[in-house]
Structures are given as structure tokens and as C-alpha cells.
Chain A
Amino acid sequence: MSKLNEHRASRFHGIWALTKRELKKWLKEPIILLMAILQPILWMGLFGKAMNIGNMFSSSNINISNVDIPGVALIPPQSGSITVSGAALSQMFSSFGPTLMSNIFGVADYFSYMAIGMISFIVMFTTMFSGMSIVWDRRLGFLNKVLSTPVSRGAIIFSKVLNASLRAMFQATIILILAVIFGLQVSSTFTVVNILGLYAAVFLLSVGLSSVFLAVALRSTRWETQMAIVNLINLPLMFASNTFFPISQMPDWIQAIARVNPISYLTDANRQLTVLPLNMSSLMIDFAFLGVFAIVFSIIGIALSWRYLTK
């Protein structure tokens, strides 16, 4: 080791310095921060309240007229036909509608189902754009400057991953607070400790997803390419998951995609930790999947950064 340089940066030092830069930039831009808060409010309002799925399963807005049932359909069969009043049918529906709702979604109200899905949605959107910042750093020359300092290449990528994850966790917090304000109904197995589990799950998915998008952006000098990639896959990835609708109701081929889609695992873990009854074994599967996803892709991202950041 040389005696020429008095100071040596530790690996973590560089990561923290670069993460601090990104966070400072973020906090200094009040508009971006405001957007980060407004966006979940708008989405929750639109998805949660406009897509009023719960209402579909209640009889309050259906006006059922009297129905004639042929006597042969009855047990035991009778001759002629009998008439059942609309009011009675309506009453019957209101007793099995919520059961149907609960069988399909697992919760009594759609808002609670959706609000937790919204966390996955926002985590996905926040982390997908993490690749953009490295494209800009390259274009503006900042990347070259950092590359000429002793900061490790892995630290450059990891600081961006960390930054995206911290942002995602911040937005997840806002969603959670809003959801509680708007009437989130937690399950009987919910405890405050579960919130920590939720953050852990959000962190794991953020690390994995942002690593993927940073790896894609490593050599890119065009942000348009990044935008195109993100726009191509964000909505398909969201709809082929359990974010807003249960997988069980989807056709087989979409189910196949949804079952390898990491978004589904985050959403499932988060639901179990909050609005659904907790099933330890399936929660463990969720976490195992998310953990493997995060580890594999962050290793790939860092390995690629060693290889490709220096041309």
C-alpha cells in the first residue's frame, strides 16, 4: 500500500457519500417531494374509491325484480311455477355477496386489498426510474469524475440502489398513513411489529428491481431508451400480478407470469402482514423469493458495474 495518500476511503464511505448526494438532491426539490406525496393520494383515491369492487358484491345498488321459478326446478318438483319477490332475492344476495367477496379477495372491503397493492405499485414505479439517474450522471460527466476517484465501482451502483430503496420506503410510509386515514381494516393477526416486516419486504424488492434497471442503464447514454424500457414493462408487470386483482381469477397463462413476478410476492407478503390472516409458511416463501431476487440481481448489477462502468 502506498504512503503517498494519507486517506483511504472505506467501501462504505463512498456508498454513503453518494447516497447522501442523491438524497440531498431529492430533499432540496420541494416539488419532487410534494409529487411523491400527492401521487399516492391521487392513486389511492382513483383506484381505491373509483374501482368500487366491494359495491359490486352488495345488493344495495341492484334493483332485482320478482322472478318466476318453474316448479320442476324445485326440490321436490312441483307443478306450475312459483314467484319469488325481488326483495327476498336481494336479501339473499346481501347475505352471500360479502362471502363471495371475501372468498375471492380474502378481505371484506376492496379498499384494504387495494391499499396494500398500492404499496407494491409505488415501489415498482420509484425503483424503475433509478436507471435514469445513472444515464444523467454519465451524460453530465459526473460519472467520469467519480470513476477517477478511489470510490469502488460497486459503490457507485449500490448507492443508487440504496437511494431508490430509501425513496420507495418513504413512499410506502405515505401510502400506509393514507390508507389508515381512509379506513384500512387490519386483520386479527396484525401487530405493530408486522410493519417492520413490511419495510423489510419493500426493501428487498426495491433492491432487486433497482439493480435490474441500473444494470440495464450501465452503458446507456440515452434516457429515452430507459423511458421506453420502463414504459414497455411497467403496466404489464403490474397487471400480471396480484396488485389489484387476485391471481386465482386470471387465465392460466397470466397466472404463470404472476407466479414468477416478484411484485406478487411483495404484495402477498404485505397483505399477510396487514389485512389478511397471517400464514407463516407462505409468508416465509414470499420472503425467500424476495430475498433471492434481491441478492441475485444486486450481485449481477455490481458484477456488471465492475465490468462495464470502465470501458
Chain B
Amino acid sequence: MSEEVIKTDGLTKVFNKHLTAVDHVNFSVKHGEIFGFLGPNGAGKTTTINMLITVLKPTEGKASVLGFDIAKQHDDVRSVIGVVPQEYTADEDLTGLENILLCADLYGIPHQVSKERAVDLLKLVELTDFKDKRVETYSGGMRRRLELACGLINRPKVLFLDEPTLGLDVQTRTATWDYIRKLKKEFGMTLFMTTHYLEEADALCDRVAIIDHGKIVVVGTPEELKHSLGGDIITLSIKEDPDVSDLIRSVENVKEVKNENGSYRIKAEYGEVTAPFIIEALRKKGYTVTKLMLTEPTLNEVYLEYTGKSMRDTEESAEAFRSQRMTMRRARA
């Protein structure tokens, strides 16, 4: 088996002839790694995943999963992958166990085998006590775990997770991360996940690709990406009105200054040493620094750097998405 489990070559999806959701994307995922697809909502993450899991046909370009062409050998691809979709797709009227067995049936797994596996999987996701309860009585976290169990029933070599923790509370999210880490360790599985939670990508992923407007802007390990920013971030505000960007820029080791509505975002090497010099330079000209914050780069900064969007924008749309999901759930009830 090749080291590259997933490989794309100019993968493109155009909807309705003019809406380019994914634009000539090239990347590869190595065996046994957790690969994160990070980007704002509408960046093309889900479209990419849907092409890789053979639900959408690419408009242009090629991709392969475990060496199988996603367009020509889709049945082979389908039988070796597991999918944990963004939505809660389990059937509400059926019990947890019935849902898992239904998934098993869809893969053609014989009943004796699927029953054994279901018991193991229910234990893994800690739903054994609820297996005979209808899914409509499950909480969000339980549903997410059930989706995970369904996605694992065919012992996939590659697991695709689309926003695995969207809309979950902090505890459940952390618990889900633990499951994902466990999967990687116990089954040596390759995982491909999308997320717009930066801390999630930072905590879980071996490598991250940032995608925006259907294009991959950067790929690397979280460490590499942070390092690529070349320095720390100093955020400061001054009491006075005039723009002092040029003054700050003249300080040694300062690489970049951005004035964001009176708050200055400064990229500087050796931030802890440079910050006092900046304060000194400002004071000499009669300005008073009211607030100063020094941060080592996180994926947050990387994200901002490459997508040009602050996290708040995407958080808001996530909020909208969640409320939409609530409506759907109500419609289902």
C-alpha cells in the first residue's frame, strides 16, 4: 500500500456552472495521520469531503482513496471508508443498536459479525446502556457518538469526519477528541476531518490544510504553520487618536503593523524584548499605551493570516448553522 492514502490532483467542483466551491485542490494524506481541513463556513470543506466519499462527482480533476479512483472505482472506495457526517443522520425512530445494524447491513456485513461488532462499538462510544432506546431520546453528544459508531462498523481504513464536534458543548467536544485519538492509536486508521474550530485542529491534527474560497492556501503541521508567521503578535491600544503605525514600524524587530480600529496588531520577532521598546518609543512622542497583549502565534493567528477573516465572522455563521439545525430537529420531532 502506498504511503499516500488520499491524493487529489486538481480536484474541482463547480455547482450550476458558475459557483466554484472547490477550485483545483491538490493535497495528499499520509497513512496513519489525522489530516485537518480548516476553513471558514462555505470555504469548500464539506464539498471536498463529499467528493472524496463519492457522494458528489468532481467537475474536474482526480482523486484517489487508498489507490482507488473516486470516480471510476467508487464501489471500492465506498467499502473501505467510514463516514461521520456533519448532520445527525441516525434514524430517530429506531434504537441506537438498530441504527448500527442498519449501517452494517448497508455494507453487507453478515449478521453474526455485525452483532459482535455492534457490541464492541457501543462499548467504545459508551452507549451500551442506551442501545435499546430510540435515538429521538438521545442528547447531541450521544447522537454524535452513535454516528461515530456507525462510521466504524465496516472497520474502515480511512475515516472521514465532517465537523465532528459542531454544536457540542465543551465537555462533549473534549470527550469526542479522546475517541478520535483512541481510534487513531488502536486501529491505526487514517483520519480526514474538517473543522472550523482552531483549537480542535491544533489539538488533534498531525497536519492541517487551510482552505478558503475553494482553494488551499497553506498545508503543514500546526507547528510549521505557527512558525511560518515568523514571530509573536503584540496587540496594543493607545489613548490618543492619531495613527502611529509608522512610528511602531520604525522600532527594531517589528515586521508588520496593522491598525484595526485603533487597536494595533504588531507582528514582531522576540516579542517579549521588543514590546518594551515599542512602549518606550511611543512614550517619547507623548503617547500613552493603555493596553498591551503579547501572544505567541496560535492557529488562530495562522488562520487570520491566511484567510483574512477574524474568527468572529465564522463563529457567527456557525451560530446561524446551529440554529438552522435546531429548526431541522424540531421539524423532525
Identify the A interface with B (CB < 8 A): 2, 4-10, 13-14, 16-18, 20-21, 24-25, 28-29, 139-142, 144-151, 310-311
Knowing A5-B154, A28-B93, the reply to whether A150 touches B106 (Cβ < 8 A) is yes
- B298 is an interface residue with CB less than 8 A from chain A: no
Identity of the chain A residue whose Cβ is nearest the Cβ of B49 in the assembled complex:
A148
List the 3 shortest-distance A-B pairs measured between CB atoms, nearest first.
Answer: A9-B108, A141-B87, A17-B105
| Partner among A10, A141, A150, A310 whose Cβ is within 8 Å of the Cβ of B86 | A141
Whether A141 and B85, one on each chain, are in contact in the complex, defined by CB atoms closer than 8 angstroms, is: yes
| Residues of the B chain whose Cβ atoms lie less than 8 Å from the Cβ of A151 | 106
Identify the B interface with A (CB < 8 A): 50, 53-57, 66, 68, 75-76, 78-81, 83, 85-89, 91, 93-94, 98, 102-103, 105-110, 113, 150, 154-155, 157, 328, 332
Q: What are 23 A-B interface contacts by the 8 Å CB criterion?
A: A2-B79, A7-B79, A7-B108, A7-B154, A8-B108, A9-B106, A13-B108, A14-B108, A17-B102, A17-B105, A20-B105, A21-B102, A25-B94, A140-B332, A142-B89, A144-B87, A145-B83, A145-B150, A148-B81, A150-B75, A151-B106, A310-B56, A311-B57
| Residues of the A chain whose Cβ atoms lie less than 8 Å from the Cβ of B328 | 139-140
Whether A147 and B54, one on each chain, are in contact in the complex, defined by CB atoms closer than 8 angstroms, is: yes
| Residues of the A chain whose Cβ atoms lie less than 8 Å from the Cβ of B89 | 140-142, 144-145
Most buried by A among B93, B105, B157, B328: B105
| Residues of the B chain whose Cβ atoms lie less than 8 Å from the Cβ of A2 | 68, 76, 79-80
Whether B94 and A24, one on each chain, are in contact in the complex, defined by CB atoms closer than 8 angstroms, is: yes
| Known contacts A2-B80, A310-B54; 18 further A-B pairs (Cβ under 8 A) | A4-B66, A6-B155, A7-B107, A7-B154, A14-B106, A18-B106, A21-B94, A25-B93, A25-B94, A140-B87, A141-B86, A141-B89, A144-B87, A149-B78, A149-B106, A310-B55, A311-B56, A311-B57
| Residues of the A chain whose Cβ atoms lie less than 8 Å from the Cβ of B50 | 144
Most buried by A among B89, B107, B113: B107
| Partner among A5, A7, A14, A21 whose Cβ is within 8 Å of the Cβ of B91 | A21
Cα–Cα, bound, A196→B56 (Å): 43
**Inter-chain contact total with CB atoms closer than 8 Å:** 102
| Residues of the B chain whose Cβ atoms lie less than 8 Å from the Cβ of A24 | 93-94, 98
| Residues of the B chain whose Cβ atoms lie less than 8 Å from the Cβ of A8 | 79, 108
Cα–Cα, bound, A64→B110 (Å): 76
| Partner among B78, B110, B150 whose Cβ is within 8 Å of the Cβ of A150 | B78
Cα–Cα, bound, A127→B248 (Å): 73
Whether B55 and A144, one on each chain, are in contact in the complex, defined by CB atoms closer than 8 angstroms, is: yes
Cα–Cα, bound, A5→B155 (Å): 9
Whether B79 and A5, one on each chain, are in contact in the complex, defined by CB atoms closer than 8 angstroms, is: yes
Cα–Cα, bound, A20→B111 (Å): 14
Cα–Cα, bound, A29→B93 (Å): 8
| Residues of the B chain whose Cβ atoms lie less than 8 Å from the Cβ of A144 | 50, 55, 85, 87, 89
Identity of the chain B residue whose Cβ is nearest the Cβ of A144 in the assembled complex:
B55
| Residues of the A chain whose Cβ atoms lie less than 8 Å from the Cβ of B155 | 6
Knowing A4-B80, A139-B328, A310-B56, the reply to whether A9 touches B107 (Cβ < 8 A) is yes
Give chain A nearest CB distance to B106 CB in angstroms.
Answer: 4
Identity of the chain A residue whose Cβ is nearest the Cβ of B68 in the assembled complex:
A2
| Residues of the B chain whose Cβ atoms lie less than 8 Å from the Cβ of A18 | 106
Give chain B nearest CB distance to A170 CB in angstroms.
Answer: 18
Whether B85 and A145, one on each chain, are in contact in the complex, defined by CB atoms closer than 8 angstroms, is: yes
Cα–Cα, bound, A277→B103 (Å): 50
Knowing A8-B79, A140-B332, A310-B57, the reply to whether A149 touches B85 (Cβ < 8 A) is no
Cα–Cα, bound, A9→B154 (Å): 12
Cα–Cα, bound, A142→B98 (Å): 15
| Residues of the B chain whose Cβ atoms lie less than 8 Å from the Cβ of A17 | 102, 105-106
Cα–Cα, bound, A257→B282 (Å): 89
Most buried by A among B83, B106, B110: B106
Cα–Cα, bound, A145→B100 (Å): 13
| Residues of the A chain whose Cβ atoms lie less than 8 Å from the Cβ of B54 | 147-148, 310
Give chain B nearest CB distance to A59 CB in angstroms.
Answer: 56
| Residues of the A chain whose Cβ atoms lie less than 8 Å from the Cβ of B88 | 140-141
Cα–Cα, bound, A17→B99 (Å): 11
| Residues of the A chain whose Cβ atoms lie less than 8 Å from the Cβ of B87 | 140-141, 144
| Residues of the B chain whose Cβ atoms lie less than 8 Å from the Cβ of A13 | 105, 108
Identity of the chain B residue whose Cβ is nearest the Cβ of A311 in the assembled complex:
B56
Whether A150 and B107, one on each chain, are in contact in the complex, defined by CB atoms closer than 8 angstroms, is: yes
| Residues of the B chain whose Cβ atoms lie less than 8 Å from the Cβ of A142 | 89, 91
Cα–Cα, bound, A140→B88 (Å): 7
| Residues of the A chain whose Cβ atoms lie less than 8 Å from the Cβ of B103 | 145, 149
Identity of the chain A residue whose Cβ is nearest the Cβ of B15 in the assembled complex:
A311
Cα–Cα, bound, A118→B184 (Å): 59
Give chain A nearest CB distance to B63 CB in angstroms.
Answer: 14
| Residues of the A chain whose Cβ atoms lie less than 8 Å from the Cβ of B85 | 141, 144-145
| Residues of the B chain whose Cβ atoms lie less than 8 Å from the Cβ of A16 | 105
Give chain B nearest CB distance to A257 CB in angstroms.
Answer: 37
Identity of the chain A residue whose Cβ is nearest the Cβ of B57 in the assembled complex:
A310
Give chain A nearest CB distance to B57 CB in angstroms.
Answer: 6
Identity of the chain A residue whose Cβ is nearest the Cβ of B109 in the assembled complex:
A7
| Residues of the A chain whose Cβ atoms lie less than 8 Å from the Cβ of B66 | 4
Cα–Cα, bound, A5→B82 (Å): 12
Give chain A nearest CB distance to B100 CB in angstroms.
Answer: 12
| Residues of the A chain whose Cβ atoms lie less than 8 Å from the Cβ of B56 | 310-311
Whether B106 and A146, one on each chain, are in contact in the complex, defined by CB atoms closer than 8 angstroms, is: yes
Give chain B nearest CB distance to A40 CB in angstroms.
Answer: 24
| Residues of the A chain whose Cβ atoms lie less than 8 Å from the Cβ of B80 | 2, 4-5
Cα–Cα, bound, A4→B155 (Å): 10
Identity of the chain B residue whose Cβ is nearest the Cβ of A149 in the assembled complex:
B106
Cα–Cα, bound, A311→B86 (Å): 18
Whether B108 and A148, one on each chain, are in contact in the complex, defined by CB atoms closer than 8 angstroms, is: no
| Residues of the A chain whose Cβ atoms lie less than 8 Å from the Cβ of B93 | 24-25, 28-29
Cα–Cα, bound, A148→B86 (Å): 13
